[in-house]
Amino acid sequence: MRIAMDIKETPDSWYNIIPDLEFSIPPVMNPSGYPLNHHDLEYMAPYPIIDQELERKERRIAIPEEVRDIYSNWRPTPMYRAERLEKSLGTTARIYYKYEGCSPTGSHEMNTAIAQAYYAAQDKDIKCVVTATGNGEWGASLATACTYFGIKCKVYMVRSSYEEKAFGRYLMEILGAEVIASPSDKTPAGRKALARDPYSQGSLNVALSEAFNEANSRDDAKFLWGTVMNHVLLHQTVIGIEAKAQMHKAGSDPDIIICAIGGGSAFGGMVFPLYPGRKADTRIIAVEAACCPSLSRGRYAYDYGDAEGLSPMLKMYTLGHNFVPPSARAGGMRYHGLSPLVSALYREKQIEAKTYSQRQALEAAITFARVEGLVTAPETAYALAAVFDEALKCKERNERKNILFLLNASGNLDLDTFKEFIGGAMEDPASSEENINAALGQLPEISERKTG
């Protein structure tokens, strides 16, 4: 059952959660250990994005008309009640999901890609945007958004994904983006990684450093973030703003909100708008991959976003910017840290974290596909594992709760992952204690005194 919204109900502003939090968010720091200012971020982003990154007071940030027009090409996205799934699980819970798979690239990443490409294109000095991507969802979304505004897009893509999960790469190249396998010999960070290991399969940390290197060395290019940063989560709040209205239309208030978490952009986009008006006993669950348990096993500390320490320092749950997760199929879930805003919510015990293995996640996704007729991205699979658990608990306890989860992306670019899993050939990766502790031992030193 679809809970529809009219095109006129497409949100006209993004929601900034900071003014509604009862606690303060530690500032982003520059490498000298001082809170970041506009100037520190100029190399990184167009001006309006810097404003959004640093905004602390305004709850509503207006969406530019040109951006809203493009959102309206597929927004408001549908919400569905998964009645066949409820029946199949025999649960007394109602299960709702917000569906972002209907965007042009099949993923929520379009929401921020459009905004960022728009702001970049407004600045006549910017001819090219540079970014890093794992399996290509973010890169493909940015490549798509760049076609709308006629600017060039260059993407450093983790080599293992570039070679093995090539469909994300194909999509970017068809759309006209330039895609470089990382580590490459084209940047200092890439050459350093290749010197360490000439056969390196890459990691998002290194790809990010390469993209920073390139953006920093060019006057006509800016780096754009796909997740983690406040402005990215801000753009994603169109998801939760719509979801809130749709749950209201359905006459339901969510008792349990479930969302997978990698860098935190889908999670923040879904959860933040539902946060201030939630019922007192509403549970919010962030679901992590066992291969990269930033919340469950990480440390709440200042850390870099990339391998070379070229990004600002963020106070976040992190496994260390040198952490290299084991090979796993949920590209977006393999990042060492996560959004400072989501990290603060977890620190303040406003949200829970749960961890599932790849096997548990993909099994849940296969079941979902065969009941609801929809193949989700592997990221969503982790959320589904938690949804199944909570729905079955409701069944045991005969509770009629409303479970709401985010289906952040379709599985279009990941069909080979599921196929391999069905074939039984897939390992179940997990991070060793040694691996995690070694990376945590390399967290940067920073004087927290200076932040007051």
Cα–Cα dist 212/187, whole Å: 9
Quote the least distance from Cβ 128 to a copy of itself, whole Å.
15
Cα–Cα dist 287/310, whole Å: 28
From 174, 437, 442, 448, residue interacting with a copy of itself (rule: CB under 8 A): 174
Quote the least distance from Cβ 398 to a copy of itself, whole Å.
26
Cα–Cα dist 208/270, whole Å: 25
Residue closer to a copy of itself by CB (options 28, 374) is 374
From 26, 27, 48, 78, residue interacting with a copy of itself (rule: CB under 8 A): 78
Quick check: 300 binds a copy of itself (CB under 8 A)? no
Quick check: 7 binds a copy of itself (CB under 8 A)? yes
> Which residue type occupies 115?
A
H or E stretch covering 315: strand 313-318
Backbone angles phi, psi at 110, to 5 degrees: -55, -35
Strand partners, 303: 314
Residue closer to a copy of itself by CB (options 308, 414) is 414
Quick check: 351 binds a copy of itself (CB under 8 A)? no
Quote the least distance from Cβ 407 to a copy of itself, whole Å.
12
- Angle among Cα 80, 82, 87 to the nearest 5 degrees reads 160
> Which residue type occupies 258?
I
Quick check: 335 binds a copy of itself (CB under 8 A)? no
Residue closer to a copy of itself by CB (options 142, 324) is 142
Q: Other CB atoms closer than 10 Å to residue 184's CB: what's the count?
A: 22
From 38, 56, 60, 170, residue interacting with a copy of itself (rule: CB under 8 A): 170
Quick check: 69 binds a copy of itself (CB under 8 A)? yes
| Residues 367-396 close enough to bind a copy of itself by CB under 8 A | 369-375
From 6, 219, 434, 445, residue interacting with a copy of itself (rule: CB under 8 A): 6
Quick check: 195 binds a copy of itself (CB under 8 A)? no
Quick check: 260 binds a copy of itself (CB under 8 A)? no
Strand partners, 354: 287
Q: What angle, 0 to 180 degrees and rounded to 10, lies between the N-to-C axes of helices 110-122 and 47-54?
A: 130
From 14, 15, 80, 382, residue interacting with a copy of itself (rule: CB under 8 A): 80
Backbone angles phi, psi at 92, to 5 degrees: -85, -5
| Residues 90-129 close enough to bind a copy of itself by CB under 8 A | 102, 104, 106
Cα–Cα dist 52/35, whole Å: 16
Torsion angle defined by CA atoms of residues 431, 360, 272 and 278, in that order, rounded to the nearest 10 degrees: -130
Q: Residue 171 has what DSSP assignment? A: H
Binding footprint of a copy of itself on the chain (CB under 8 A) = 1-2, 4, 6-7, 69, 72-74, 78, 80, 84, 102, 104, 106, 144-145, 147-148, 166-167, 170-171, 173-176, 366, 369-375, 411-412, 415-416, 418-419, 422
